[in-house]
Structure 1
Amino acid sequence: MAAAPQTSIVIRTLNEEAKLGDVLRALQGQTYQDFEVLLVDSGSKDGTVAIAEQFGATILRLDPGSFTFGRALNYGYERARGTYLVSLSGHAIPWCEGWLERLLSHLRAPDVAASTGGGFLPGDSPASRRTRVVRIEAANYKEAPLWGLNNAAGAVKAELWREHRFDEKLTGCEDCEWGWFWMKRGYALIWDEQCSVIHEHHETLPQQYRRSRREYAGLAAFLEMPRYGPREVLGEWLVTPLKEAAAALLRGYSCSRAAVMGGKYHGRRHPSPADYRLERPEDVTESRFPDGD
């Protein structure tokens, strides 16, 4: 039997044929190659599984009716052999050949539980941005709770995951809950802009609303958060500088922002996971990046 790889990469998919080949080619081109790829598929009807097989990935099938983000990832990690566990969305493309090596480098620190990056659109790249590396700890996490581990593109230590698995009941932000669990115990998370991925998909306004609602319902289920009533919603809406408002309106950003804030409002007021089941396949999207992409 072949020796276990140092790293296991788990990709959760549902009808990802449009981008999955690009994701797997980017992994093939990494300078670091001591890894295996496991694909957890939740009932794809397109060529997703066939593409993964062409690249030699191990195929794991999850009953679509039992899907939650946490359950799918736990299912893959249970079968992973690596010391480091990497989660990657089926449409999140590593932006350079050193991406994986840098992502894993942060896990060598004994007090770091996880590492992650952001998302950017095709044509952009972290190389053209101000490089940021943020250490997130319990003391500063609540200031921006969507910052932290992002399972669309993140890495954790397998030994810590075995002690505390992802919460399978949460409708979203199972990654944030996992990170918060370890931050409360003295660990840190590293957010590194150079560990970002190329990430793009087009959501309708209802999809944006449902995703935001699920994520904030997930956050509110495990994290004590300040009041977010109508007054707070209005205050957040008015924060946008007037000189940016016209341009935002022309871009349609105001409609998108309204959908996200509406989901945030309802999710935070009704945090029960049972209220927000994944109602249809198009709800299964992973696009929560703290820089807004």
Structure 2
Amino acid sequence: MDVSVIVRFHNEEKYLGAVMEALSLQEFPFGQYEIIGVDNQSDDMSNSIVARYANKILSVGDYLPGEALNKAINQTSGKHIAILSAHAIPASRNWLSTLYTHMKDPNVAGVYGAQLFPINSKFLDKRDLDIFSRDQSRIEREDSDFWNANSMFPRRFWEIQKFDERTFELEDHHWTKMILPLGYEIHFEPQALVYHYSHIDRNDRVYVPNLMMNGRDQIEMAIDVLENSSAEWSETMIAGLTLASLAHSYHNRRAADVLGQVLLNHWDFDVRWRAAGALGKIPNKESVFFLIEGLSDPSFYVRDEAAWSLARLGELSVNPIINSIDQLNPNNLSFAALALGLSGVEAGERCAVALLAKEIKSADKARIRNAIYFAGEIVRVQGSTILVSVIAGFLDDNDDWLVAVSCWALGCFSVIAWDLIEWEVIQVLAMMHSDEIVRFEATVALGKVALATGESDFIYTLSDLLHDQSSRVRYGAVQSIRMLIQERKINVKLDSILDDNDFGVRYELKLIQKLLQ
């Protein structure tokens, strides 16, 4: 067997039919592939759906991702292992083949494909989500974003390093931390696209591992782990998540200093990210101090999580952030603005708008992009509409990424300032721009303004975009139309578009057909 595809699921009947159909219709000229289902105690129709397509179904009880994967791989016969989330629909019949082409390189320990989340997803902020949806390939030899929602790797590398069976999250990241130092590399393949459903609300994972101990003892144990510089990665991650989950406990207050030291000094970006998230749930001055320092972390993920955590601390963090602005690296000012803009404090919101306006007018494209991304996250704060005109000025920029981000942000502003935006320009971008990511983001922006206003002109444009050559654009259009039908009860005729060769678009069309029945 050339490839074994593993699909883990728990009550995923909403998406599994589309996922399994796409898997069964893969065009794979390189040999044979099998499908292995891993059922985590589903009590809906998931198991029976998978049974129609899978070669084998395994059952697991108390779910730990690494343990479930190791158990499944032990039952496979493939020379290569593909992992697919049960709510991630492959876009095309070439998904498996596209991942497999990377297996010809003996230096490639693994490859992961692009993921496009629902257009209303707040699972992570947009800047974060776009790391996984960009259309540019990359090679990672140190820190990797490898994600087992959409991945493939040679079996021989799993035999060298199996997945950690203790950690509750990021077993895929841990695996790359063990494999990459051996001299191998991880590839990101944007053409192996999946549509990753289910993740809508912001990720705020909770996990308390030992129910036989009281909260105080669990906190003390977690602190002991974090103070031990030789603790293993999985133990450290569990300790950070435990402290985040028990943040309501009075006994957790003294954990701030320990978490802060981890945030400032730990070698691994995932551990620092987890520490930043935990600090955002411990409301004291020490947490604020460490998180402001975290805004200067070398990793985007840590800076971003520090900003969201400072925002969660609200009024407690606003004045310290404002007082620290002059000391921050200019490249990180947008992260301070994000924290202030989401703080819910008027003085912080005013400062955020001023900071972002200044950053958008800077000469550095990376800083401008970050500022526009974060402007889209804070559109509802008072005074934010002054950003609309400066963002719109980038719609004709020669940097396609910057144009795409500007379209997205202006779409966010449609809920409060649609009349300040020249939508004709965005319509032209959606229909005619050469870059498909620009067309996709312009399409989604049109969907948002149509949802906000109900204007028929935007709806007609979305209907026309269902014929675009890019499946991403068609997906943005069809999902926008589906949301318009759900929320505005519009009546759209789709007589000429009853099917599509893209499985995600096909899934959305079926949802629309059900709504219109």
Query: What TM-score results when the alignment is normalised by the length of structure 2?
Result: 0.41
Residue matched to 1:248: 377
Amino acid at match of 2:93: E
Instruction: Choose the corresponding residue for 2:204, options 205, 209, 215.
Output: 209
Residue matched to 1:48: 46
Matches for 1:219-230 after TM superposition, within 5 Å = 221=237, 224-225=267-268, 229-230=290-291
Distance of aligned partners of 1:78 and 1:231 in 2 relative to their CA distance in 1, 3 Å threshold: same
Distance of aligned partners of 1:211 and 1:37 in 2 relative to their CA distance in 1, 3 Å threshold: farther
Instruction: Choose the corresponding residue for 1:24, options 16, 20, 24.
Output: 20
**Quick one: distance in 1 between partners of 2:175 and 2:98?**
21
CA contact (8 A) 2:8 2:37 kept: yes
**Quick one: distance in 2 between partners of 1:220 and 1:192?**
30
CA contact (8 A) 2:114 2:134 kept: no
CA contact (8 A) 2:138 2:188 kept: yes
Flag the structure with higher helix content: 2
Pair 1:182-2:179 in alignment = yes
CA contact (8 A) 1:12 1:90 kept: yes
Deviation of the 1:219 alpha carbon = 9.7
Distance of aligned partners of 1:158 and 1:202 in 2 relative to their CA distance in 1, 3 Å threshold: closer
Deviation of the 1:25 alpha carbon = 0.9
Deviation of the 1:218 alpha carbon = 5.0
Matches for 1:65-144 after TM superposition, within 5 Å = 65=62, 67-121=63-117, 131-138=135-142, 141=143
**Quick one: distance in 2 between partners of 1:69 and 1:101?**
25
Pair 1:165-2:162 in alignment = yes
Residue matched to 1:232: 293
**Quick one: distance in 2 between partners of 1:69 and 1:193?**
24
Amino acid at match of 1:154: S
Amino acid at match of 2:193: S
Summarize deviations over 1:197-231 as a string: whole Å, max 9, x none: 111224445xx1117999xx859549823765322
**Quick one: distance in 2 between partners of 1:31 and 1:251?**
46
Percent of aligned positions that are identical: 27
RMSD: 3.1
**Quick one: distance in 2 between partners of 1:116 and 1:7?**
15
CA contact (8 A) 2:5 2:33 kept: yes
CA contact (8 A) 1:173 1:219 kept: no
CA contact (8 A) 2:84 2:151 kept: yes
**Quick one: distance in 2 between partners of 1:202 and 1:183?**
29
SS of the residue corresponding to residue 191 of structure 2 reads helix
CA contact (8 A) 2:5 2:81 kept: yes
Distance of aligned partners of 1:251 and 1:196 in 2 relative to their CA distance in 1, 3 Å threshold: farther
Instruction: Choose the corresponding residue for 2:7, options 5, 11, 19.
Output: 11
Amino acid at match of 1:18: K
Gaps of 5+ in 1: 253-293
Deviation of the 1:122 alpha carbon = 5.5
SS of the residue corresponding to residue 195 of structure 1 reads strand
Distance of aligned partners of 1:43 and 1:115 in 2 relative to their CA distance in 1, 3 Å threshold: same
Amino acid at match of 2:103: L
Instruction: Give the stretch that moved more between structures: 238-247 or 41-50.
Output: 238-247
Flag the structure with higher strand content: 1
**Quick one: distance in 2 between partners of 1:55 and 1:107?**
25
Q: Work out which structure has the larger RCO, using CA pairs closer than 8 Å and 6 or more positions apart in sequence.
A: 1
Query: What TM-score results when the alignment is normalised by the length of structure 1?
Result: 0.70
SS of the residue corresponding to residue 179 of structure 1 reads helix
**Quick one: distance in 1 between partners of 2:207 and 2:103?**
29
